[in-house]
Amino acid sequence: MGIWATLKEGLLVAFDSLRANKVRSGLTILGVTIGVMVVLIMAAVVQGVNESFRNIIASSGPTTFYVFHAPVGGGGGIRTGLEEEENAFMRNPPLDQSWATELARLDVIRMVAPGADLGEGGFHARAGDTDVRISLYAVNSEYMEMDGGDLVDGRFFTAAEESRRRSVAVIDSATAADLFGGLDPLGRRFNIGMPGRRQAPFEVVGVYRPPDNLFMGFQSHYVFTPFSSLKKSVGIWDRMVYFIVKPHEGVELETALDAVRTRMRQLRGLDPGQEDNFNLITQDQVMEWWNNFTGVFFAVMVALSGVGLLVGGIGVIGIMMISVTERTREIGLRKSLGARKRDLLWQFLVEAATLTLLGGAIGMALGGLIVWAVSSLTPVPASVPLWSIAVALLASIFTGVGFGLYPAARGAGLDPVEALRYE
């Protein structure tokens, strides 16, 4: 019997077995479906998240880096453990906002923007009876050029307004709509503060659109104010202050890092033998940290998906053993008529692979549908990478072949005389 004839026969027998053993076959297919679906979804999500990170780096420039008063997030070449990191956060002196000006005077540095990401730390915006929880940022007038985003109306606040501590703010479209409805937000006033605490009035001078990336998408209701005015009116915990540093075009990153490190040590008053009590984080270090994080996350999910494939594989063994038992006389008859062991082995393996491939196909279809929903309904720019489809197909095939090998070999190795006597 030729390969194609054997393949066709194996497919027909596989579907007959599926119809005859709906529950067992369904459980086998379900296990493989879940395993393949999880791999596909996680690969798409991880790729989308990494793409968002790359977009952030591209928007701010590959040589842009950050100065923090202590290690953050466990990445970027940080050598401390979590407990040490937390201790350093409280032990290291905070950054002084005025040092941003000192760093900007370096020949290799184009600009330095101090900032404080207060995020969603409990701050609210209020206009009349309307109250909105906001993501609050204290920045300087150069923030837009440093970290991306666009203005859809009005302007960003100026250096003069910053130096005079003017209570002006730039808000995003969602905040404008919730606070002022359909009214023009420019020139209107609202209050910023925490519920039950001091509230400070601010005037809207611009409407902002965040850069198109995942991490901005998970937050909402952005409000940007001058660093100096927010510190005066509401207060900023000084340990939240950081600097965004952008070197001049053409300046190598290492040159800029060395210059900033040297000046920071002078500003900190560190002796030559003392370690840095601040931290410089580059874009590549952030990306490396994120890749490590997503890599671990992806590995865990792949391991979990392997459980699904294992369940499917065990189901393959069960179904194939039943199939071998039910077809013992058929096997004996075929061997007595001249069927070779390898022909029978091939037939059973095709049958096993067909079941798992069917589960893989369903898993890819469902996974693709879920990825489309995630991409359409969430900020995650998920897309199915081609390699994940290849991995899913191979995983399905190897699950069927690997777990079907023993029952296939057992069936192909039956003695024809004993098989014909089987009742």
Q: How confident is the model at residue 258 (pLDDT cuts 50, 70, 90)?
A: very high
The average pLDDT across 102-128 equals 82
Cα–Cα nearest to 372, from 382, 359, 361: 382
Question: According to the model, what pLDDT value does residue 79 have?
Answer: 42
Query: Do residues 141 and 159 make contact, with C-beta atoms less than 8 angstroms apart?
Result: yes
The average pLDDT across 124-132 equals 86
Q: How confident is the model at residue 206 (pLDDT cuts 50, 70, 90)?
A: very high
Lowest mean pLDDT among 35-39, 73-77, 199-203, 410-414: 73-77
Model confidence at 423: pLDDT above 50: yes
Instruction: Show me where the domains of the chain are located.
Output: 3-55+289-421, 93-277
Prediction pTM value: 0.61
The span from the first CA to the last CA of the chain, in angstroms, equals 27
Burial class (CB in 10 A: 0-12, 13-18, 19+), 269: exposed
Question: According to the model, what pLDDT value does residue 75 have?
Answer: 41
Element (H, E) at 346: helix 341-377
Rg (CA), the chain: 32
SS3 316: helix
Question: According to the model, what pLDDT value does residue 324 have?
Answer: 67
Model confidence at 282: pLDDT above 70: yes
Return the higher-pLDDT residue of 75 and 129. 129
**Quick one: three-class SS letters along 42-82?**
HHHHHHHHHHHHHHHHHHHCCCCEEEECCCCCCCCCCCCCH
CA separation for the pair 311, 399 (Å, rounded): 10
Q: How confident is the model at residue 204 (pLDDT cuts 50, 70, 90)?
A: very high
C-alpha distances (whole Å) from 368 to each of 40, 269, 371, 383 are 7, 57, 5, 9
Residue 30 phi/psi, 5-degree rounding, is: -65, -45
CA separation for the pair 369, 377 (Å, rounded): 12
Burial class (CB in 10 A: 0-12, 13-18, 19+), 115: buried
Model confidence over 216-230: pLDDT tens digits? 544 568 888 888 787
What average pLDDT does the chain have? 76
C-alpha distances (whole Å) from 3 to each of 315, 330, 414 are 26, 20, 22
Model confidence over 12-70: pLDDT tens digits? 766 666 666 666 677 777 777 877 887 788 778 777 777 776 776 666 667 888 888 87
Query: Do residues 152 and 209 make contact, with C-beta atoms less than 8 angstroms apart?
Result: yes
CA separation for the pair 331, 324 (Å, rounded): 8
C-beta contacts of 85-88 below 8 A and 24+ residues apart: 88/277
Query: Do residues 220 and 135 make contact, with C-beta atoms less than 8 angstroms apart?
Result: yes
